[in-house]
Chains A and B, each alone.
Chain A
């Protein structure tokens, strides 16, 4: 295993804002209290344009990063725990794991706090005002494909969420940094996307990762609603030609329902919403391989729809 460059850990370094830094991440405001200066700086690099003052808005989510004090820890390898609204969510994280886990804490708290949207675990993009949902579990290549689509001129809505407005059934942007795994670093560079500190951060689950700030991904305003033109279930198959296979809307409804984070909050209404979306959209399974050919397929699909 290759050694990772480690972000500088300075638990007693430059002081953060008293009570933590506050950001307005679309419909969610989050206060982040982190003792590690490099993580604070990197988070500011990703979301600096969304920083707000403590006077502007109450915080929906409070995240605290604290250094582990119990057990035996080497002072030059500090471990951290992350708390979301006072609840312990991750612990024993090295410095290189803090930012990725901070992102996950925000995602997990968002699923609980944001009740005005049906949230799916999917990538969401838009082309000419028309949205697509790319629904798949992790490691199906949806982030890399998202990066390729953005490089081809698509609008980035979110890499982790498809945020559905229950009233309009439209997709909304949710400003989260695009997270790419090490295997996609070269691809992203070839596409002309600027990765922030590639390989500096890592998780046990994903390995080394890099982030792309949402402001560089031509993200529309979070209040813009994008009607869903297509529901795509992507599957990376290195041995196959890229192609789209039409699927029955019911298959798409079931797939989306299984990936809905807050389905419980909406109950049967979630199924009604997904049914309306899938019956009005083009539903297909995408066998992806060559990125350019795959992007061309999706371009044609949205144009034709």
Chain B
């Protein structure tokens, strides 16, 4: 695929959407390490989280599981590692946790709670990035 074609594809399918359409779940794209936006205001209320997005002036209510995943989305953890975090904190199997993490990351991405350019901890992708940069 040529550079222009890639650019067009990226424009049509921005990073948020890359999360939202789950194409990475099927292995077509490298697994992202989602990173939550740093400007979000997060408030703990009981065992839940209230997240305020100042850019969209939108408010979200997250349960303990979702709050844990959002908190762990620091750009250094892959989906698998986020599932590990979930299994450490809650009594769930890894497969179950992975499914929840995928759902939640999609939800966060769809609502614009993740950074526009998520960090990627996959070697093949970093090679791709280097090639694109060159």
Residues of A within 8 A of B (CB): 248-251, 253-254, 257-258, 263-264, 267-268, 270-272, 275, 278-279
Contact = CB atoms under 8 A, between A and B. Distances in A.
10 smallest A-B Cβ distances: which pairs?
A268-B41, A250-B48, A250-B45, A257-B59, A254-B61, A271-B52, A249-B45, A275-B43, A250-B61, A253-B50
A279 B57 contact: no
Contact of B50 (A264, A267, A271): A271
B57 A253 contact: no
Nearest to B39: A268
Nearest to A271: B52
24 contacts: A248-B45, A248-B48, A249-B46, A250-B49, A250-B50, A250-B61, A251-B61, A253-B43, A253-B45, A253-B50, A254-B59, A254-B60, A257-B52, A257-B59, A267-B41, A267-B52, A270-B52, A271-B41, A271-B50, A271-B59, A272-B43, A275-B50, A278-B45, A279-B46
Contact of A258 (B45, B54, B59): B59
> What does DSSP make chain A's interface, helix, strand, loop or mixed?
helix
A176 B43 CA distance: 33
Given A248-B46, A271-B41, A253 B61 contact: yes
Contacts of B43: 253, 271-272, 275
Contacts of A258: 59
A268 B52 CA distance: 7
Interface of B: 41, 43, 45-46, 48-50, 52, 54, 57, 59-61
Contacts of B50: 250, 253-254, 257, 271, 275
B72 to A, nearest CB: 19
A268 B49 CA distance: 14
Contacts of B57: 263-264
A159 B97 CA distance: 46
Nearest to A256: B59
A247 to B, nearest CB: 11
Contacts of A268: 41, 52, 54
A263 B58 CA distance: 10
A53 B60 CA distance: 47
Contacts of A275: 43, 45, 50
A97 B70 CA distance: 49
Contacts of A250: 45-46, 48-50, 61
A147 to B, nearest CB: 31
